[in-house]
Every structure is written in structure tokens, then in C-alpha cells.
Structure 1
């Protein structure tokens, strides 16, 4: 009886009956969006001496999982959109993501530019000279939307190519970019190339992801975490990070651990809250950078003890998430939902996240 209940529990965790949606995917997206906001908080606060060293190191280590896991989740539900043809794809993916990318890049520029110098790192947002080239050089903080539109068009064009060929090609590309052998001269382009593999994996490897999630257990989560730490530690201590395949292997281990942890967390009550964030990633992603910049401007100049810095980073992360969602509700309430959707009759009314 116990074994039967466990099997049923795992089945409902990995797949919901309605629409076949992976039960843990919202948890994975919730984890990813919190890590994205945390990353921005660390990036903005660190130049002001408001980030303790261990937390900065942890944030750097989470790079291996943060965006690859997000892209894996985004690719899981691409197939139905591709089946509906070019018109649907261009409307729901290219036009929507393109509009939001351009609009919020401008919003971000308008909010951050007037702030005191140092409120935002130079490499975090586009400057006035770079803004006219926003379609050629993706914004450092908004590149994810740009990449989703680009990936979707490429997927439609390459839909007849076997999945294993695309996985092999993007895996090689990820290996070369991760090792620094292939460079694009613009960080956002390098991220787009490096993490394309995980979007393709979500697109063509849905059943594989389901099987990994179904096998999740505390032991597997701990094993993946230990393996990730071991690979990361060896790459640093032995200077192996630039060896082809090491960074890619670390991404694979970290993303596997993320899937296992998401499936495990989905079985607990706390997972409901994380999943709720995962269903609202869009408004958080769009607004978090300007909000983190504003909070950084307010905190610049204080000199708290190291122990308090952990709380400051956590507070900025939590407040940025809360304000992003409040802003979304407020703008929708005053009929300004076009900040999150195409305007007028072109509106997509996407499922948030």
C-alpha cells in the first residue's frame, strides 16, 4: 500500500492531469526567478560593500543552474506552439517577447539613468550610446526575452531536424562558448549561444525530464549537490574551468540537481508558494532590475556589519519580488496591462510566467 501511494504521489508531482503540464515546472521557474533577482541584488549591492564574500561566491556558483534551468522550463512547452504554424508563433512568441523586450529596456533605461552614479553597474544595463543598437546587442538584463524569441524562430525553421542532432550541435556550441574558445564580443550573445542547449533539451527531452523528476528523492538531490560542488571545486582548484566540457558538465549536473530539487520541493507545502512565484515570473523578470537599482540607491552609503549584509541582500531580493508583483497588479488595475502584453487587439493574454 505504501509503495502504491508513493507511486501515485510521484506521478501527480511530475505530471498534472490538466494539459499534461509538469507538476514541478512551476517550482523550477519559481526557484529560477528568485535566483535571478538575488543575482541582480548581489550584482548591484556588491560595489557598495553590501554583499558578504561567501554570498557573492554562492551567487557565482549558482550561475551554472539559474538561467539553464529557466530555459529548460521554457522549452518544455514549445512543441504545441510550433504545431500551430508561423502565424501563432510570430504572434505569441516573437511579437510578444519582442514588444516586452523593447518596452522594458526603455523603462529600465528611464528609471536607472537619473539615479546617482553607481546605483547600477555599467555592465548591467545599456547606456545611451548603446540603446539605439538594442536589436543588435541584447540588453544585459533583458536578454532572456530576446533569446526566447530567437530560439522560437530557430526551432520552427529546424523542426524537421532530429532532436539528437540539435542537442549535439547546441551541446558542442555550449562547450566551446563555456570554455572561451568561441566568443561573440557581447556577453548577452554568449549567454544566448551557451544556454541554447537547455532550451532544446526542454523542447525535445520532455519525457526524459519527466523521468528524472519522477525519480527525485532526498538522496538524489544531495548526490547531485555534492557532485556539482565537487566538479565546481575541482575546476577552480585545478584551473580546469577553461578546459572544453568542464563548464558544460557543471551546467548539466546543476540543472539535473535543479530538476530533482524542484520535484522534491513540489511534494511539500512550501512548494506551493514557490510554484505560485513560478506562475508569475514574467512581471518579476520585467520589473526587478529597475526596482533593485532604486533600492540600491536608497541603501548606498550605509556601512553595516558583515552579518547584517546577508539580511540586506535577502531583504532587497524579497522587496523587489513583492514590488514587481504589486506593480503588475496596479498597472493591470488601471488598464495598463500592455506593459505585460501586446497592446489592443493584438493582446496575447499569456499565462503569466
Structure 2
């Protein structure tokens, strides 16, 4: 299903774009030198209703068959390997990212990073959320409609639960962030599983009219969900509509673009390496932020408009290319322990090469 690879490729590019265009935009295009930095940030914020729900819908869809397999066959690739990668790369981030975030307090930053890791507030929280959602869906798969209904109610209650936790004190800020992520996105993984058959049938045909209509609808819905000052209950409903229409738009467009051989091949390359891109690109961005800060320290004038327009896409491309290069080096060195538990590997006992073992680890592995 080339359209699935393309949808995953688009989603990981959106993730890289968000991290570069929201948290990093102040370093890449600071307001003292740029007039477009705020527009790049707004554009990325408007995609919040789409970005992670799309990831989880596709992940849930591709997990459908694994959810009914014996625990022994799925526990390692679906749970323990991902938790290993989560802990390992969170530690690496905590050890290195102080240069960007806390150059004067590296040890305190590391301790804070480890606390954040425990409560799903790490930059790699998605890797830890997948096993949690997989286990919840697996335990409740016998009653899929009840599961989806329960998680939908949790989704509606999410703003109120998070607000109540934050009111307990500032020390609960990070746990509240983790709670928001778990309560807001679990429903989309379950939806991908429950509707997996329908989604796959939907991808079997080109539907240009639906692609156009969904795109037209999702744009104002995303704007209202993110930019309008709405009450929590209203915000949930608007965000729900924004997510459903934007995910439908991306899946429809992916089916159309997947029919183009060049686009299909590109989607396969990126879509099959989403895990590596997700893990590596934050480290690349940290380096780039530090470099750009030092460049602007000696800046003498505004950035040329053509540079402003091309800078963020170039940074995204650099992050993706370095991540792909990192995977190629890891394959060559047999460093599959970077992405899976390093002992008692079933792949090694079965004679599978490290390259094949690493390459099957995607954000939505089959």
C-alpha cells in the first residue's frame, strides 16, 4: 500500500516541520532579523489537529493484525523494543541537549529530562505512547466499539483532567503534559484499529472529490481549533472535526499521489524509516539551533526574503537526510541495538541481517 507509506512520510515531515518551525523558529528566523518567522510558526501550529492523530491512526491500522497474535510473538517488537528505544534516546537527548536548553546547568537539565521521560514529557514521548496504546487496545479488542466509545469520552474529558492536574501546583506541569498526550491521542490509535478494514478499502480507490472537500473543510476547522479562544468543551468538538477532516484529506491526497511512481518511491523510502527520523532529527535540530544562535550574534541586517522562505524547508530536508544517512551507517555497522533490545534477538537467531532487522522498525511496524 504505497499510499500508507506516503501518509507516514508526510506525517514524519510534519513532525520535523513542527519542531523546527515552532520550538526552533526563534533561533532560525529571530524577529530582529526576520518578518516571516511568526508566519512559519503559525502555519505549523495550525497543523496541530492533524500531525499526531495521523500518526496514531496509521499506527493503529497497521497494528490490527498484531493485536490478535500471541503475546510472545508481539511483546518484543510492539512493546519492549520501543520502550528500549524510548529510554535510550531520551538519555542521549538529556546528555546532549543542555547545550541548547541549559548551557549553565547541564546536570540539572539531565535530571529534569529523566523526570520528564517518566511522565511522557520527553521529546520522544510518542515512542512510549505506542506500547501503552497497543496494550490498552489489545486488552479491549474483544469489544472494539466499547473501547472506541470509552476513549472518545476520555478525549472529551482531556482538557478538564489536564487542567485539574495543573491546578495542583507548578510541579505537576510536566505530568499534565504527559496526561494530555495520553488522553488526547489514545482514541486515534483505537480508531485506526477499529476502522482498519474501512481505511484500507478507502485507500483502494482514488477519490479526488473527497480530497478537495476534506481539504476545504479542514482548513477553517484547524484555524478555529488552534487560533480561536474557545471554551474547553467547544474546543474539543471543533478539534475533533478538524482532525477527522484533515486526516481524511491527507489519506485521500496520499492515495492520489501514491499513484505517481516517483512520489511513491520517495514515500516508501521516508515512510519505511520514520522511526529513525523521529529519533535522530531532534538531535540535529539542537545542533542547528546552537549554530544559528551564534551566527545571529554577529548579524548585521535583515535576512533576505528568499532566504526566509527557503530556510525552514531546507532545515527540514537536512534533518531528514542526516537521519537517513544515520540509518545507513547503523545498518552498515550492525548497530541494531540503537532501535531494539540488544540481547536475545530473534532476528539474529533466525539469521536475519542487522540491516533487515533495523529496516523493519518503523513507527507503525507490520
Runs of 4+ in 1 over 4 A off after TM superposition: 116-119, 234-238
In the alignment, structure 1 residue 192 sits paired with structure 2 residue 182: yes
Out of 240, 249, 264, which is 1:257 matched to? 249
In the alignment, structure 1 residue 224 sits paired with structure 2 residue 214: yes
Out of 266, 269, 291, which is 2:258 matched to? 266
Note the C-alpha offset of 1:234.
4.3
Contact map agreement 2:56 2:188 (CA 8 A) in 1 = yes
User: How big is each residue's C-alpha offset from its partner over 1:44-88, in whole Å with a ceiling of 9 and x where there is no partner?
Assistant: 422226162222111011111111111111111223222222222
Find the counterpart in structure 1 of residue 131 from structure 2.
149
Note the C-alpha offset of 1:238.
5.9
With over 3 angstroms needed to count, the CA separation of the structure-2 counterparts of 1:291 and 1:70, relative to structure 1, is same
With over 3 angstroms needed to count, the CA separation of the structure-2 counterparts of 1:116 and 1:247, relative to structure 1, is closer
| Larger displacement relative to structure 2 (97-106 or 72-81) | 72-81
Note the C-alpha offset of 1:38.
0.9
Aligned residue runs from structure 1 range 155-304, under 5 A? 155-160=137-142, 162-177=143-158, 180-183=159-162, 185-235=175-225, 239-240=229-230, 242=232, 243=234, 244-268=236-260, 269-300=262-293, 301-302=295-296, 304=303
What's the C-alpha RMSD, in Å, of the aligned pairs? 2.4
In the alignment, structure 1 residue 40 sits paired with structure 2 residue 19: yes
Contact map agreement 1:29 1:73 (CA 8 A) in 2 = yes
Find the counterpart in structure 2 of residue 323 from structure 1.
322
Note the C-alpha offset of 1:245.
1.4
Note the C-alpha offset of 1:307.
4.2
| Larger displacement relative to structure 2 (162-171 or 75-84) | 75-84
Contact map agreement 1:235 1:246 (CA 8 A) in 2 = yes
Distance 2:223 2:25 in 1: 23
How many residues were matched structurally? 323
Aligned residue runs from structure 1 range 98-117, under 5 A? 98-113=83-98, 115-117=99-101
- Structure 2: runs of 5+ lacking an equivalent: 30-35, 166-174, 348-356
Find the counterpart in structure 1 of residue 361 from structure 2.
352
Find the counterpart in structure 1 of residue 119 from structure 2.
137
Find the counterpart in structure 2 of residue 339 from structure 1.
338
With over 3 angstroms needed to count, the CA separation of the structure-2 counterparts of 1:347 and 1:340, relative to structure 1, is farther
Find the counterpart in structure 1 of residue 308 from structure 2.
309
With over 3 angstroms needed to count, the CA separation of the structure-2 counterparts of 1:155 and 1:54, relative to structure 1, is same
With over 3 angstroms needed to count, the CA separation of the structure-2 counterparts of 1:117 and 1:104, relative to structure 1, is closer
TM norm structure 1: 0.84
| Larger displacement relative to structure 2 (329-338 or 94-103) | 329-338
Contact map agreement 1:228 1:250 (CA 8 A) in 2 = yes
Aligned residue runs from structure 1 range 88-99, under 5 A? 88-99=73-84
Note the C-alpha offset of 1:116.
4.7
User: How big is each residue's C-alpha offset from its partner over 1:221-256, in whole Å with a ceiling of 9 and x where there is no partner?
Assistant: 221111012223445676336314121221111111
Contact map agreement 1:105 1:139 (CA 8 A) in 2 = no
